[in-house]
Structure 1
Amino acid sequence: MVGMMIDGAGEEADELVTPGEFLGEATQLVAGKGAYVSGRSILASLTGRRTITPPTPGSSDNRSTIEVVGHKAHGAVPQPGSIVIARVTKVMARNASVDIMCVDSKAVKEKFSGIIRQQDVRATEIDKVDMYQSFRPGDIVRALVLSLGDARAYYLSTAKNELGVVSAQSISGGTMVPISWTEMQCPLTGQIEQRKVAKVD
């Protein structure tokens, strides 16, 4: 139950905003649900309506709280620090694009995009990372959300042992089995393909 709405700077308090959109200054407002602080700015972390709630009477912080209330049924929303399961859609020389399917084991109801940059694939020998030998379109990866990046896509990392490709199909169509940190093997043909493999417990 959100408290009484007030307009901010003469704008409608319930205007529709999208991820990454500027909501206000952190010096004047507190980031509530669906919002996060980046530097001095408060940005939206999901698509929905912007609402501003005045501070509770007697509160030591006299700033109003700004929230984004999702316009769809509340599904899981990626936040910095979340572990996500995503499907690789495109691999380029410096990054891979993914569609996020689950956040902290909960299915998402909106479409969230992610980017795994070359420097975030693994923790060691970062300059030697080959994106084409780390991921392929269709791979299912487990990754950590770093932040909301450019182009409305979340920056993701696979730089821990337990992060990386968890499921992949070989060129022949078989579900591959991990055989090392960097290789998966097709059970149908025995062919080995390069991947950034997630360590399985």
Structure 2
Amino acid sequence: MRRAAIERLLPAAYQRAAGPGSVLGALLDVMEALHAPDEAVLADVDALFAPYRTRDGFVAYLTRWVAMDHVIAAPRADAPLPLPVGRLRDLVAHGALLARWRGTPYGMRTALELATGVSGFLLEEPADQPFHVVVRVPPAAADQLAVITRIVEAEKPAAVTAEIVTAEIVIAVPSPPSVPSPEEPS
């Protein structure tokens, strides 16, 4: 708040006493200076939550808002991000789209392409293996298997098993433990 705005909030007797060089006038100047940093933030508050305008350090926090924090799951807060900040910005910007298509081949492929910056992921559902998906990783993304595995685990439906295949490596994604139905004997 500006000094004049603060002064208008005071009773008339205090307003008269708040002239230049007075103690109350000095206090109002200090109050204005204390409000200035907060007002600067509030004047541009929409930039905090815009994925392409926020500061780099805030982008990882925004991934939590769009349920993509599994991509950056790091054991320590000071650990480096597994993706360039630009790719994280893309994930946050497409968060609503990814949420809408979560659990579908399109959603998983889109999340993988945004996170890795590589297109050409193939998702296959073998006819002889129901509730199973094979994710074929393009060679250009083979060095990002840790991130790819986290995305596949989070984006696939819970009852589906998955394996990640590159030209040289096959990774089986563990499926959740099965819970016997009431009709099945234990």
Question: If the TM-score is normalised by the length of the shorter chain, which range does it land in?
Answer: under 0.3
Bigger proportion of residues as strand: 1
Bigger proportion of residues as helix: 2
Q: Quick check: which has more Rg, 1 or 2?
A: 2
TM-score scaled by structure 2?
A: 0.24
TM-score scaled by structure 1?
A: 0.23
